[in-house]
Structure 1
């Protein structure tokens, strides 16, 4: 960082969901994420943040769809592209947990120059890469 430059980082990204509780359960059970915060904001709104266990430096904000446009975006927030990249040091274990939780895999796991990878969809249809980087 250059002298005088501000320190910045992306802290959070929103995932539009159909229901708070079903999303919390899926991200907890399938992805092994921790619930960092679940605060009532009134009028049925909640501030729900989740992150991979041991990594609260970046979190997902689960936001329940409130308008027709938001409902239409559920599961396709990245226009059909992979929108999330989850790194792991236990590819086989995480793949098995995802399979048991009902994740939809688009391919068989493959081994690339950069590591092991598989594309899956979460409970809403958002596309993710599960990656164990090659060390």
Structure 2
């Protein structure tokens, strides 16, 4: 059975998530990785791209958190993006998600196969409940 939650409760949860990302004194980041996604918060693989999130890290409207991401970044290494991690402003793990060149991925990027210096485009910047 699926749990049904009001939009206001979803908004509160996403606002709390955004506020957790904004915790600390530095800059919150989203890092794109290759390889198998580890257990929650586990040791990361090869970083293919790192982007600083804005402050605040995003905006919440209804049941959607829109991350403050640029349209694209340059890849830091060669590989195939398979997952992403968001850390707070102190570098602490907040969340991991699947990333792929797929509109149904948690984080949709294009292309998934990247080369050092090549563009990685963020085709979806939203997380929704």
Would you say same fold, with TM above 0.5?
Answer: no
More helix, by proportion:
1
Relative CO higher for 1 or 2, CA cutoff 8 Å, sep ≥ 6? 2
Provide the TM-score with structure 1 as the length reference: 0.28
Provide the TM-score with structure 2 as the length reference: 0.29
- When Rg is computed on C-alpha atoms for both structures, the one with the higher figure is 1
